[in-house]
């Protein structure tokens, strides 16, 4: 008992507890950062994959929706009412883009300059059809500079 009294309470506690082995600090410091980077990278990658799949599906569904073979009679009639005017010819770029020129492209038709239709379109890229014989559907507008100005909404390539 005398021995117990000689020992201080602090020494009793230290004799009962054992030392905890120290781990290397380097991996434990960077482990949370590494986990966060892996999660963020996985999120970005999966987002890119899912968004590209969604875009492909949208493009395919739009192509199917605009195909005339799948249109019903009412839809075809509505389509024809929307694009009342049509013309056939070869599409060329309108290089005379001065302040009086109208239309980004022109449709060269048989019959000379008086039969040329000047084209513009807000829904189609007419550059895709340059040099090709096409049938264009759209709406005719009055113009003081050119004989025929048409806003094109649909183009069919003629072989």
The one-digit pLDDT tens for each residue of the chain (159 residues) are: 455 555 666 777 777 777 766 666 666 778 888 999 999 999 999 988 888 777 777 766 666 555 555 555 555 555 555 677 788 898 888 877 655 667 788 888 888 777 788 888 888 788 888 888 988 888 877 777 777 788 888 888 887
| Dist CA 131 CA 152 (whole Å) | 17
Domain 76-157, classified CATH 1.20.120, yes or no: no
Q: What is the pTM of this model?
A: 0.48
Domain map (residue ranges) of the chain:
25-65, 76-157
* CA proximity to 155, closest of 111, 125, 118, 131: 125
């Amino acid at each position: 008992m005398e021995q117990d009294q000689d020992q201080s309470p602090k020494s009793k506690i230290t004799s009962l507890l054992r030392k905890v082995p120290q781990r290397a600090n380097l991996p434990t410091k960077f482990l949370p950062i590494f986990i966060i980077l892996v999660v963020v990278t996985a999120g970005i990658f999966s987002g890119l994959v899912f968004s590209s799949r969604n875009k492909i599906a949208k493009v395919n569904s739009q192509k199917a929706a605009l195909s005339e073979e799948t249109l019903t009679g009412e839809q075809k009639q509505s389509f024809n009412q929307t694009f009342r005017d049509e013309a056939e010819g070869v599409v060329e770029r309108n290089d005379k883009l001065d302040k009086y020129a109208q239309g980004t492209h022109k449709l060269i038709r048989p019959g000379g300059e008086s039969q040329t239709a000047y084209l513009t379109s807000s829904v189609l890229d007419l550059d895709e059809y340059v040099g090709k014989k096409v049938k264009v559907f759209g709406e005719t507008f009055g113009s003081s500079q050119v004989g025929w100005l048409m806003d094109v909404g649909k183009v069919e390539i003629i072989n």
